[in-house]
Structure 1
């Protein structure tokens, strides 16, 4: 007998609720330097993890795990691994970019009171998962949705988040004791902040600028503008 399906009312949020959602999206920042030493209250951290756990996942596989790191010795090992990888990364850029790269602080590992590694268990759900039958990587995409949920919830709570991505995979795996089938998707630094950059720091520092939305929208097939004709992107005005 099929199970009964319960539905909840749908519809737009109130103006204030909608504005709060968009405010969280547009004012979210990658935090590296603004962390305060104050601990995150357990109930706040639980709300953030619960928000992450309510992310969408293909086949409802929920492939994520949350590794909370507060031990100073462990964080010191992670920072050392970052520093080695960061030196390697700096050498990959030309002289002009290398100087700017080296001037940008790219982590807050020991500054933030909490580090969090969100992982993807690639065996979660077994060998055949609804919706993943033709795209093996949807478990990774689902885990990134959990990262974004947590990040937006953190913005609403006044908690800063910084994503540290510059690691050699083997180093992070060894430090955290990850099984072979578990992928470290995001290494995050979390902590209270009193101020945030008014726009992305990399934009303020001249590393890159936000692309105009119009350049990124196609209709019905790649490169097709609304008129149905392929357009020269240089002809599209910036926002």
Structure 2
């Protein structure tokens, strides 16, 4: 057997039998270009999720995965806010993709907080509401958050004081006031979420707020408001004249 016979070369496939390109060939670049030209408002929720998943999943059509996430959680916002353990229930969604999703959530919160930190809180109450909705509206469990303010109503600290179940968070009024004294805070804005989506204050919400006000008052600490946020809007106890 001579060398030429032994070294066989693979023949290129006939033009009619050439392997077809994946059906999503070029889709990623086209979607990126559409986003850069028209912005996120021009894209559907599943397309925004596709863009997000591109970074973590390099060589796969991610449209079915994006639609599976929406089918499970309901909306883009609810996917982004979903807990990692819930995201792990989705077939095909690995840790890299989950990290990308949670990174977007953290970036949104930091952006909203940055806007809040640059101004006197009470002079831009819309920003306070936007921040609380960004931070908590789509959370699957109740969170009780406090904005601690100085005498000029500028933000000193923003802390989550408790995380509870789907419909209850334990709050201890004396601990709230103790923390305010530690920080040298002169005023508070209380906030928590209703995972049900309905921000209507409960009797327990009103009672707890009034308890905090009563304990804080002798120390010269004002409670400006208690905001309740949900997927379907927000409620202000002060605006509703409940405090």
Normalising by structure 2, we get a TM-score of: 0.26
Relative to its length, the structure with more helix (as a share) is 2
Of the two structures, which has the highest relative contact order with CA contacts closer than 8 Å and spacing of 6 or more?
Answer: 1
Considering only CA atoms, is the larger Rg found in Structure 1 or Structure 2? 2
